[in-house]
Amino acid sequence: MENMANNRSVEPKVPVTIIQPKKGWQLFDLKKLIQYRDLFYFLVVRSIKVRYKQTVLGGLWAIIQPFAAMVIFTIFFGRLAKIPSDNVPYPIFSYSAMIAWTYFSTAIRNSGFSLVGSQSLITKVYFPRIIIPIAPVIAGLLDFSIAFVVLIGMMLFYHIHPTALTAVLPLLIIVMVLTASGVGSFLAALNAKYRDIGYTIPFIIQFWLFASPVVYPASMVPERFRMIYALNPMVGVIEGFRSALLGTTAFPFKLILISAVISVFLFLLGAFYFKQMERYFADII
Amino acid sequence: MNKPVITVENLSKRYRIGLREKKYRTFREVLKDGITAPLRNLARLRRLTRFDDENAKEEDVIWALRDISFEVPQGQVLGIIGRNGAGKTTLLKILSNITEPTRGCAFIQGRVGSLLEVGTGFHPELTGRENVFLNGAILGMKKAEIGRKLDEIVAFAEIEKFIDTPVKRYSSGMFVRLAFAVAAHLEPEILLVDEVLAVGDIAFQKKCLGKMGHVAAEGRTVLFVSHNMLAIRALCNRAILLDEGKLVMDDEPEKVIQEYVSYENMNEAEVVWDDRSSQPGNELIKLVSMRTRDSSGNLTSIFQRDQSIIVEFEFDLARLEENLHIGLDLKTGDGIVLFRSHHTDGAEKDWATLTVGRNILQCVVPANFLKLGRYLISPVIGLHYGQLIVGPDPLLSFTVIEGKPISRFWIIQQGKRGVTAPILHWKHINVKSP
């Protein structure tokens, strides 16, 4: 759909919609996205409000999930396997990674299943479809913030002072959100056509967990593989978090730069593939 | 004549439907197929979004729409009618931008609101208020606009007390009323409406019809799909008829409805038991078929209010039995028995004479008698003071639709009191004034 300079109507303000088979491509229809920003807002609010409805613990789950993982990791990887933790106590070492990881894995899971779960919306109403996989990615930031507060509590408990580089955190969060958006919308579009993706997502997440420095430090990866390792954007994000907040290592500028570039690439790739597939969603979902 | 606000040119849409699954005969085939299945599945799924040359004959491709062209001037309410699968919804989906056409194009001037379903996006866990905002936004309303109309919407739905209750606790009636109330407050210049009036109770349907009429009176353009001919007649000033994706008629609603009714599903009008063992009955009488005809003898299951309905029984009789009666129950769609009639109800000299062998009996339900709606016919065949041989489960159904009103004061039937709506004769008796 294009909004075109109006040459067919008397009233210059009346929008004209031209419906025809689409040719060529554009990444985003910004005008449409702006027009539907309220819908985006309500979908984000919906997924936040609905998430912990009819639970006893409610928002506490945002803390319990990374916290429980931290306890398990501390026992098995910290105590038993004695994996080094860059000179900070293992619990806070793994928790600082878990909050980012929990956000990321939840975001790509919810995003990847979002289209398939919104059949009735897609087949009954028009709006820019990209809103659907992006909404859960944004909604997840609330849980992330709640879990982050606990991290601050743990830092106080362990008497760890954040470094001045904490100021870079927003940038790392953007890298994380961009990656989740790109991967999420790519998987969502693919899942709309091939439901195999739904079964693959848990594997992808599991594999990705071990490809990221969550239970072990990036310093364990041999120096010569470090740059390839950084192609996983979560490497830069998690190492950046630890370095800025816990002062574990010197700030890994190089890793973060690579991660940032890759995250932008993944975001564009996801958006592009989504756009290509968008026109078929109503017919094939 | 107003300028067209919707121009549709040669709109076509094809879908790929899945081919029927093969049947396996041997274990080897099953095994072989199981192993190669992923490859075939991949090919099949890839083909979902790929089509060969337009003219190539592919057996799993259907054209949901074929070269549809029409124009709609501003302020017109256009009814779209046709059987299930005729392409009505596909047409609305294309015009709403939900799916794109395969060929052809459409130009639409003005803000489009489409209503293909009520309650899209409603979440059971959210409250009525939250759902109003969400659903409003889904239908394309702005947050501020919804906020302004909230009170009006809640009042329209008659759920003031429950607005802060999660909708999963609503009765289905409340749910539908709220969903429709949101939709009814959309104010686009062009409104596309699919069969959404089919929900809710009759009182609420009337309210919705009123609201729709109001929309039309405000000069907004409406495209309206419905199976409810009364609604089409009441609201539309033009109608198009679709059949198998083609536009077959474009005229005044009255004429198009006539055309539609005349070829509408004949099969429902008849049940035939070919196989002797399946025929209802016993050694005395076997029912062979039942059907409904109009007064000219055509098979049909749709009758205008001013047409009489002929119910026909065809049966085989083994011997003459004095106590035997052939009869029927006429029930409304809600299951209320309107009456039971036997062929032996009248004076004995007027009884139809039965013969041994094949018989056909007709019963005439008079014109101008039933209210609009769906009715069920159950055969009731039995012996007086004795057993019931066939019945009383309904086997046929028919629908009464609005005919041409004879009186200009004939009001919409659903609003009339009573179970039936007979037109009776009223006579004036002269008396001397005192």
B81 within 8 A of B241, measured Cβ to Cβ: yes
Chain B residues contacting A via beta carbons under 8 Å: 3, 15, 45, 48-49, 93-112, 114, 116-117, 120-121, 123, 125-126, 130, 133-134, 137-143, 166, 189
Q: What amino acid is encoded at B55 in this protein?
A: N
ipTM for this model: 0.82
Instruction: Say whether B106 and A18 touch across the interface (CB within 8 A).
Output: yes
From chain A, the residues in CB contact with B139 under 8 A are 125
Chain segment B335-394, per-residue pLDDT in tens: 678 999 999 999 988 899 999 999 999 999 999 899 888 888 989 999 888 888 887 777
Which of B129, B134, B164 would you mutate first to test chain A, the one with the most A CBs within 10 A? B134
Instruction: Say whether B48 and A15 touch across the interface (CB within 8 A).
Output: no
**In this model, does residue A107 exceed pLDDT 80?**
yes
Q: Mention every residue, 6+ apart, whose C-beta is less than 8 A from residue B238.
A: B76, B77, B78, B79, B250, B251, B252, B253
Cα separation of A59 and A61, whole Å? 5
For B279, phi then psi, to 5°, come to: -65, 130
From chain B, the residues in CB contact with A121 under 8 A are 120-121, 138
**In this model, does residue B197 exceed pLDDT 70?**
no
Q: Which of A18, A50, A282 sits opposite B98 (nearest CB)?
A: A282
Chain segment A237-264, per-residue pLDDT in tens: 999 999 999 988 888 999 999 999 999 9
For A207, phi then psi, to 5°, come to: -60, -45
Instruction: Say whether B109 and A22 touch across the interface (CB within 8 A).
Output: no
Residues in chain B: 434
Question: Which segments within B260-372 are labelled E, that is strand?
Answer: 270-272, 285-293, 302-304, 309-317, 324-332, 337-342, 357-365
Q: Across residues B417-432, what is the average pLDDT?
A: 87
Distance from CA of A125 to the nearest CA of B (A): 6
Instruction: Say whether B109 and A54 touch across the interface (CB within 8 A).
Output: no
From chain A, the residues in CB contact with B98 under 8 A are 122-126, 282
Chain segment A47-58, per-residue pLDDT in tens: 888 888 888 888
Closest chain A residue to B126, measured at CA:
A50
A135 within 8 A of A99, measured Cβ to Cβ: no
Closest chain B residue to A118, measured at CA:
B121
Instruction: Work out the pLDDT band at A3, boundaries 50, 70, 90.
Output: very low
A283 within 8 A of B99, measured Cβ to Cβ: yes
Chain segment B245-283, per-residue pLDDT in tens: 899 999 998 888 877 776 654 446 788 887 777 788 888
Chain A residues contacting B via beta carbons under 8 Å: 1, 8-10, 14-22, 36, 38-39, 41-43, 45-46, 49-50, 53-54, 120-127, 193-194, 277, 279-280, 282-284
Chain segment B50-95, per-residue pLDDT in tens: 766 665 566 677 888 999 999 999 888 899 988 777 889 899 999 9
Look at A170-174, A181-185, B233-237 and tell me which has the smallest mean pLDDT: B233-237
Q: Which of A9, A22, A282 sits opposite B109 (nearest CB)?
A: A9
Instruction: Say whether B97 and A277 touch across the interface (CB within 8 A).
Output: no
- What does DSSP assign to residue B273? -
Instruction: Work out the pLDDT band at A149, boundaries 50, 70, 90.
Output: very high
User: Which pLDDT value is given to residue A5?
Assistant: 39
From chain B, the residues in CB contact with A42 under 8 A are 133-134, 137-138, 143
From chain B, the residues in CB contact with A127 under 8 A are 138, 140
From chain A, the residues in CB contact with B6 under 8 A are none
A21 within 8 A of B119, measured Cβ to Cβ: no
For A260, phi then psi, to 5°, come to: -65, -45
| Cα A218 to chain centroid, rounded | 21
Which of B17, B41, B97, B225 would you mutate first to test chain A, the one with the most A CBs within 10 A? B97
Cα separation of B141 and A127, whole Å? 12
Cα separation of A93 and A241, whole Å? 10
User: Which pLDDT value is given to residue B291?
Assistant: 92
For B170, phi then psi, to 5°, come to: -75, 155
Q: What amino acid is encoded at B204 in this protein?
A: F
Instruction: Say whether B134 and A41 touch across the interface (CB within 8 A).
Output: no
Cα separation of B403 and B406, whole Å? 9
Q: Is the dihedral of CA B79, B83, B85, B87 positive or negative?
A: negative
- Percentage of residues in chain B having pLDDT higher than 70: 89
Secondary structure of residue B238 in the 3-state scheme: strand
Cα separation of A101 and A104, whole Å? 5
Q: Which of B93, B110, B123 sits opposite A282 (nearest CB)?
A: B93
Q: Which of B15, B120, B140 sits opposite A283 (nearest CB)?
A: B15
For B338, phi then psi, to 5°, come to: -80, -45
Which value, to the nearest 10 degrees, does the dihedral of the CA atoms of residues B42, B45, B47, B48 take? -170
Cα separation of A20 and A1, whole Å? 8
Instruction: Work out the pLDDT band at A11, boundaries 50, 70, 90.
Output: very low
Higher pLDDT, A31 or B355: B355
User: Which pLDDT value is given to residue B312?
Assistant: 94
Residue B426 buriedness (CB in 10 A; 0-12 / 13-18 / 19+): exposed
Closest chain A residue to B4, measured at CA:
A9
From chain B, the residues in CB contact with A192 under 8 A are none
**In this model, does residue A192 exceed pLDDT 70?**
yes
Q: Mention every residue, 6+ apart, whose C-beta is less than 8 A from residue B119.
A: B135, B175, B176, B178, B179
> Of A177, A174, A172, nearest to A255 (Cα)?
A172
Chain segment B219-251, per-residue pLDDT in tens: 888 898 887 777 787 788 899 999 888 999 999
Residue with tokens 């009618």: B81
Peptide bond into B392 cis (omega under 30): yes
CA A150 to each of CA A92, A99, A161, B143: distance values in angstroms, whole numbers, following the listed order: 10, 10, 15, 34
Closest chain B residue to A53, measured at CA:
B125
Closest chain A residue to B38, measured at CA:
A196
Q: How far separated are the first and last CA of chain B, in Å rounded?
A: 59
Q: How far separated are the first and last CA of chain A, in Å rounded?
A: 20
Q: What is the mean pLDDT of chain B?
A: 83
Closest chain A residue to B139, measured at CA:
A125
User: Which pLDDT value is given to residue A189?
Assistant: 95
**In this model, does residue B119 exceed pLDDT 90?**
no
Chain segment A121-137, per-residue pLDDT in tens: 898 888 899 999 999 99
Higher pLDDT, B409 or B7: B7
Q: What is the pTM of this model?
A: 0.73
Instruction: Give the tokens for residue B250.
Output: 């474009």
Closest chain B residue to A22, measured at CA:
B100
Q: Mention every residue, 6+ apart, whose C-beta is less than 8 A from residue B182.
A: B118, B132, B135, B136, B139, B153
Instruction: Give the tokens for residue A181.
Output: 């958006």
For A139, phi then psi, to 5°, come to: -60, -35
Residue with tokens 């036997």: B342
Higher pLDDT, A81 or B214: A81
Instruction: Say whether A127 and B140 touch across the interface (CB within 8 A).
Output: yes
Q: Is the dihedral of CA B375, B381, B387, B393 positive or negative?
A: negative
Closest chain B residue to A281, measured at CA:
B99
Cβ density class A102-141: b for 16+ within 10 Å, e for less: bbbbbbbbbbbbbbbebeebbbbbbbbbbbbbbbbbbbbb
- State how beta strands B324-332 and B357-365 pair: unpaired
Chain segment B314-329, per-residue pLDDT in tens: 999 999 988 899 999 9
Instruction: Say whether B103 and A21 touch across the interface (CB within 8 A).
Output: yes
Q: Across residues B137-155, what is the average pLDDT?
A: 90
- What does DSSP assign to residue B236? -
User: Which pLDDT value is given to residue B56?
Assistant: 59
Name the range with the highest mean pLDDT among A181-185, B130-134, B149-153: A181-185
- State how beta strands B77-82 and B221-225 pair: parallel
Closest chain B residue to A6, measured at CA:
B109
| Cα A152 to chain centroid, rounded | 22
Cα separation of B357 and B363, whole Å? 20
Instruction: Say whether B97 and A193 touch across the interface (CB within 8 A).
Output: no
User: Which pLDDT value is given to residue A31?
Assistant: 80
User: Which pLDDT value is given to residue A242?
Assistant: 93
Q: Mention every residue, 6+ apart, whose C-beta is less than 8 A from residue B94.
A: A19, B11, B13, B65, B100, B101, B106
Residue with tokens 């954040």: A162
B103 within 8 A of B7, measured Cβ to Cβ: no
Residues in chain A: 285
* Partners of A2 in beta bridges: A18
B184 within 8 A of B152, measured Cβ to Cβ: no
Name the range with the highest mean pLDDT among A111-115, A116-120, B116-120: A111-115
Which of B12, B111, B120, B194 would you mutate first to test chain A, the one with the most A CBs within 10 A? B120
User: Which pLDDT value is given to residue B355?
Assistant: 92
DSSP per-residue codes, B112-134: EEEESSTTTT--TTSBHHHHHHH
